[in-house]
């Protein structure tokens, strides 16, 4: 079987695992309810009186902070806890194919959850004439950001067989990636540190790079940033899993 065939097999296995229990449906319902609450209640969608989804996308870095690690924490922790990791890796597939297959399945699950937010697009188009190109760009940025959080969760999941520990570590890492570019934090740092240092730290923030997508700008630097996080985290996952096998 080809490499892509192996990845598809692993991805199908993982997707089947999600929908074999109520967990997937509960997650999607919680995601949609929270997205709606933050958009229309906390985000002041109607009070803004503007035909845009800024109120919707502004909360995504924070919404994903807990929901994405909840999806990713079981990827490898569950395999280690049940003792099925060794069985999985003795199959005629490489470690890399297993990692990519699991990651893609979870990412597709998150994409499905995000696609189900289409009523907000219908709502804003019904109430006004928004720039749908900007909305499309923001969705692309949101998907890349979710993928970055997920890859980090995949990495922390490979570190431990305890899902709760994996969840906490991934939340802490993702929170750092938010706060190092969060305006209140950067404004505070500007009073204590040099602007150049603050700009350097902020360059590693998902907030800094997600802003461009929210404005409808597809900047290659922002795309490369998110893809780099995904690539580095999945590479580290591979190193950790090979280390566990060697041990």
Q: Give the model's pLDDT for residue 127.
A: 86
What SS3 state is found at 21? Answer: coil
Q: Give the model's pLDDT for residue 142.
A: 95
Q: Give the model's pLDDT for residue 116.
A: 93
Q: How far apart are CA 240 and CA 155, in angstroms?
A: 8
What SS3 state is found at 94? Answer: coil
Q: Give the model's pLDDT for residue 87.
A: 65
Divide the 247 residues of the chain into consecutive groups of 10 and give the mean pLDDT of each group: 81 84 87 89 76 86 91 79 65 82 92 92 88 93 95 91 89 91 76 74 86 91 95 92 68
Question: What is the residue whose two structure tokens read 């049940």?
Answer: 82
* Token pair for 113: 């959850």
Q: Are 27 and 106 in contact (CB under 8 A)?
A: no
Q: How far apart are CA 40 and CA 104, in angstroms?
A: 31
Question: What is the residue whose two structure tokens read 């204590």?
Answer: 192
What SS3 state is found at 8? Answer: helix
Exposed, middle or buried by CB within 10 Å (0-12, 13-18, 19+), for 128? exposed
Q: pTM higher than 0.95 for the full model?
A: no
Question: What is the residue whose two structure tokens read 């590479």?
Answer: 235
> What is the residue extent of each domain of the chain?
3-246
Q: Give the model's pLDDT for residue 230.
A: 95
Buried-exposed string 203-230: b where 16+ CB fall within 10 A, e elsewhere? eebbbbbbbbbbebeeeeebbebbeebb
Q: What's the DSSP call for residue 73?
A: T
Q: Give the model's pLDDT for residue 226.
A: 96
């Amino acid at each position: 079987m080809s490499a892509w065939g192996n990845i598809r097999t692993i991805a199908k296995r993982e997707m089947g695992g999600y929908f074999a229990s109520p967990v997937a449906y509960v997650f999607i319902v919680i995601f949609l309810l929270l997205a709606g609450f933050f958009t229309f209640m906390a985000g002041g969608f109607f009070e803004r009186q503007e035909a845009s989804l800024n109120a919707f996308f502004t909360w995504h870095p924070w919404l994903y902070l807990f929901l994405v690690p909840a999806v990713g924490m079981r990827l490898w922790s569950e395999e280690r806890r049940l003792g099925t990791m060794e069985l999985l890796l003795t199959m005629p597939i490489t470690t890399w194919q297993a990692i990519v297959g699991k990651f893609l399945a979870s990412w597709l699950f998150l994409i499905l959850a995000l696609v189900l937010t289409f009523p907000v697009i219908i709502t804003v188009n019904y109430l006004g004439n928004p720039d749908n190109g900007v909305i499309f760009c923001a969705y692309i940025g949101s998907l890349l950001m979710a993928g970055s959080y997920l890859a980090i969760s995949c990495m922390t999941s490979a570190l431990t067989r305890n899902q709760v520990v994996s969840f906490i570590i991934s939340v802490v890492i993702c929170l750092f990636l938010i706060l190092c570019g969060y305006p209140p934090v950067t404004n505070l740092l500007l009073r204590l540190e040099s602007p150049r240092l603050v700009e350097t730290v902020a360059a590693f923030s998902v907030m800094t790079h997600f802003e461009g997508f929210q404005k409808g700008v597809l900047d290659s630097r922002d795309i490369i940033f998110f893809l780099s996080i995904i690539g580095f985290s999945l590479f580290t996952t591979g190193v950790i899993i090979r280390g566990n096998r060697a041990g």
